[in-house]
Chain A
C-alpha cells in the first residue's frame, strides 16, 4: 500500500513561515492536495493539484510537489492558521491521506 508521511507537529511564531512536508514514493508524479481541519470542524480543502487554491483560500497558503515530497507553505502565519493539516494523494484506485501535522502558532 502507498504511504504518505508527515511530521506530527510543527510550531511557529506569528508572522513566520510554516512549511509542512508530506513524503511518499515518487509523490511528485502524482497530484497532491492539502486539507486544514480546525478543532471540532470538518476538513477544508486548501490546496489541490499540487499548488492551486480554491476560492476563498488566502494567497499566503501555497503548495509545491517534486520528487518524493509535497510541501504546504504558510507565509506570515497567523493564529487563525492553527489546526491539523493533512496531505492527500491518489494511488492505484485508492485515496491516501498523510497522518496529519498539528500546527501550533505560539
Chain B
C-alpha cells in the first residue's frame, strides 16, 4: 500500500524556517518524481515544487523561488522541503504528492498534509 506521511509543520514567526519531511512507503521511491502542493485556509490547491526521480531536476513556483528548497533521500525514502524566510502568506497545509508514471503529470497519491502557520 502506497503511503506518504508528512511531518515537520508547526507555528513559526515571519522570517523563520521549517523543514518538512515526507516519508514514503509501499512503492519504489527512486522511480518517481515527487512534488509539494499547498492549500491555504479556505483556498484552492497550489503547486509549490517538484524534484525528479534522480534529483537532477528541481523547479519551484515563482512565489517560493529563492526561499524554499526541495530535496530527497533515496536511502531513507524521504522527500523534504526546506522553508526559509517564511511569510504570512505561506500559511497552508502542505501536501506531499507522488507523480504517476505516464503521459502528462498527475498525482496519484497525496499525503494527509502538514500544517504550517506563519504568525507572530
A-B complex is real: yes
Interface of A toward B, CB cutoff 8 Å: 1, 30-33, 35, 37, 42-45, 48-49, 54, 84, 86, 88-90, 93-100
* Interface pick from B42-50, B66-74, B79-87: B42-50
Contact (Cβ within 8 A) A33 B45: no
B36-92, CB < 8 A from A: 37, 44-47, 50, 59, 61-62
* Total number of residue pairs linking A and B with CB closer than 8 Å: 70
B106 cross-chain contacts in A, Cβ below 8 A: 31, 33, 45, 48-49, 88
CA separation between A45 and B62, bound complex, in Å? 25
List the interface of chain B (C-beta within 8 A of A). Answer: 35, 37, 44-47, 50, 59, 61-62, 95, 100, 102-113
- Could you say which of B44, B47, B102 has the most chain A C-beta atoms within 10 Å of its C-beta? B44
Most A CB contacts (10 A, CB to CB) among B35, B62, B105, B108 go to B105
Q: Assess whether A42 is in contact with B95, with CB atoms less than 8 Å apart.
A: yes
Judge whether B61 and A97 touch: CB under 8 Å.
no
- In the assembled complex, the Cα of A48 lies from the Cα of B102 at a distance in Å of 10
Contact B62 A1 (CB under 8 A): yes
